[in-house]
Structure 1
Amino acid sequence: MKSGRTGWMLGLVYLCFGAGIVLSAERPAFIGAANVSPHNEYRLWYRNYDSPPIRALVSLAFEKTPEYGSFSIIRSPEMAQGRVVRELEQPVSTLVDIANVATSDKREGNLLAIPLPIDGGLLGFRVCVVLQESLPMFEGIKSVSDLQEAGIRVGQGTHWPDTDILEANGVKVITHSRYEILFRMLENHRFECFARGVSEVLFDLEMQGNMNLAIEPDLLIAYPMPSYFFVSRRDHETAQRLQLGMERAINDGSFGKYLDHFYGRAMKALDLGERKMLVLNNPYLTEESLAIGRHSLMNLQRRINNLSSSDEADSDFEP
């Protein structure tokens, strides 16, 4: 394993230990031969299913836990983030079993969270997707007050935790319940900045294929906001399989390789070390998740340095 990848992986492991999460990589006591299904189907929220990194991580976690049986990952029906959270809150859902979304104290209270940030905490680091013609509006912005004075409105999902975080910090937010519609709203000048996570923005623009869209080059909006897998509070077996699989992947190095493969390119391409960071407060986290998010913020520069010193990610990674 190359030194850059070692630094990335150990950074995340330290992040988990530092927040009080115990990595145990042990087979859970409740699993016995009589309880193992020969084949399990897991319905993954369609937005996650359509995201290659997220679907790859679910597969990686399940492949690391063969004692739970074989598996298939199925695309859920299309539904907004608020709807998928409500579905998982039901005693039994026929639509979805797993969703990866940003965490909040409310979500951790109503659902079972697997408290390991799937992207190393990068979701709370956001850049602006803008129209090419709007780029001059962002010149000279160095603070949230500058953002306000420039009249810049930020587009976000109605039920995304980011919306409440941005509004709590005095940022003007325009919302819609559907992710896909937000790009059309940006194109129609309903807002100036569609704030997207560092770990997702390059994939977003590749999918959109719109040459009029650009990534604003100078700003990095940052707040502690880990992104977890969530399942129903009654679905302990799926929760334990996901957590055990991710812990094993961290311990054997395959999670570090996963992070480097899927997110290393974005961290380099976006020149995060050269951007002006606007740090916002997140008042909607549990104590544990706040510790994880703060640790991510403090270690961003170290992660950038680790990736900058490493070679390009291997092209033969297979989750």
Structure 2
Amino acid sequence: MWRSIDIPRIIAVLAIHVLTLCFCVQVQASAQVSSEAAQPSNVLPHSVLRLPNVHPGRDPVYAYAKALLYQTLKVTEAEFGTFELVITEQEALQARQLRNLEHSMLDVTWSVTTKERERHHQPIRIPIMEGLFGKRALFINSDDTRFDHPLSLAQLKTMRAVQGYDWPDTRIFRSNNIRVLETTYDASFKMVAEKFADMYPRSVMEINHEIKNDNKTANLKIAPNIVIAYPSPMFYFVSSDRPDLAERIQRGLEKLLANGELKRLLEAQEIYQQSMTLLEGREIINLENPLLSEQSKQALDTYLPYPSPSPNSQVDGMQNKQPQSSDTTP
């Protein structure tokens, strides 16, 4: 039986199969190497960034801050990758928004700054509202005639303001010896309307929008003649453990500043235009802000006023526009 088996032929067939298998493995390996070589070695990540929900009374301010952040991230896509903005469902006050950064519940928020906030969170020290949150017009009672003529700081110190519980402005007014009643945002309007407080200082970027809300501002008016002013820049903030995100926002804002797009976007906002009109011809009463860090004072000197936009300027071919494809809202 064994004599009928052609051993040399079997060996030759097996050798052919082995050689064929080795060739196929080599071709497959070469194809995989070529495929890997064809792909970029530094594929950039896609970032999903969570933002706070709009706070009552700040719809236009929120819309501007969000649009600016979108452009800031858009002009850095080539360096840092694509992104998506997601709005959280729950509203939160300023202090809670900042705490949410450290609890990994938010990725970016914006707020006026203080030394304390900068100790716990990472600020991007480029003012995004051109310092206008430190320019305060006053809601007063509709029957109050004391403001019909310009008042001095000494006269304001005889009155009582109303402000929010967690607002840095509360401490700023008190440090300048102006009495402050602390309450909620909504209750502040009632305090002045019912004459429990004399004035409700609001940013010139907010007050024109708020005066349109009859439910809140019935029996109130904007005081003529004066504006209270103190240095109070608004910054973007990220978590202290996100230096990469802070660097991205810093670079994006610097790009928008350099060619004037930041100024162009701000000046296109109706609330900015109304603010400029409101400030015309008013007496400025200056207060000190003891809450500012030296770095933030330097940022005001470095970045304000904003550079003017160059003719027909745009960044990386992008016009001023609202978030579209990379923006997701609830």
* TM-score normalised to structure 2 length: 0.71
Question: 1:230 aligns to what?
Answer: 237
The one of 52, 62, 66 aligned to 2:77: 66
- CA apart distance, 1:137: 2.3
Q: CA deviation at 1:257?
A: 0.8
Contact 1:46 1:75 in 2 (8 A): no
Whether the 8 Å CA contact 1:46–1:77 is kept in 2: the answer is: no
State the distance in 1 between where 2:214 and 2:107 align: 28
2:315 is matched with none
Aligned residues: 265
Residue identity matched to 1:274: G
State the structure with more CA Rg: 2
Gaps of 5+ in 2: 1-40, 309-318, 323-330
Residues 256 and 262, structure 2, Cα contact 8 Å, conserved in 1: yes
Match of 2:147 in 1: 138
* Rounded Cα–Cα distance in structure 1 between residues aligned with 2:302 and 2:141: 33
Q: Hey, what does 1:285 align to over in structure 2?
A: 292
Provide the rounded CA distance (Å) in 2 between the counterparts of 1:169 and 1:251: 36
- Which one-letter code corresponds to 1:140 in the other structure? H
Structure 2 counterpart of 1:144, which letter? Answer: L
Displacement of 1:281? 0.8
Are residues 246 and 207 of structure 1, via their aligned partners in 2, closer, same or farther at CA, if it must alter by over 3 Å?
Answer: farther
- Where do 1:184-223 residues align within 5 Å? 184-207=190-213, 210-223=217-230
Q: Does structure 1 residue 93 correspond to structure 2 residue 100?
A: no
Moved more, 219-228 or 202-211: 202-211
In the alignment, what sits opposite 1:160?
167
Verify the 8 A CA contact 1:105 1:284 in the aligned structure 2: yes
Which structure 1 residue ranges, 5 or more long, are not aligned? Answer: 1-31, 307-315
Matched with 1:57 is 68
Residue in structure 2 matched with residue 116 of structure 1 by the alignment: 126
Alpha-carbon spacing, 1:65–1:193, altered in 2? closer, same or farther (3 Å): same
CA RMSD between the two structures: 2.8
Task: Give the corresponding residue for 2:157.
Answer: 148
TM-superposed CA distance for 1:140, in Å, is: 3.4
Q: Structure 1 counterpart of 2:109, which letter?
A: A
The aligned residue for residue 78 of structure 1 is: 91
- Using a 3 Å threshold, how does the CA distance of structure 1 residues 239 and 45 change in structure 2: closer, same or farther? farther
Q: Percent identity?
A: 26
Offset at residue 60 of structure 1 (A):
1.9
* Alignment counterpart, residue 181 of structure 1, candidates 187, 190, 214: 187
Pairwise CA distance, 1:292: 4.0
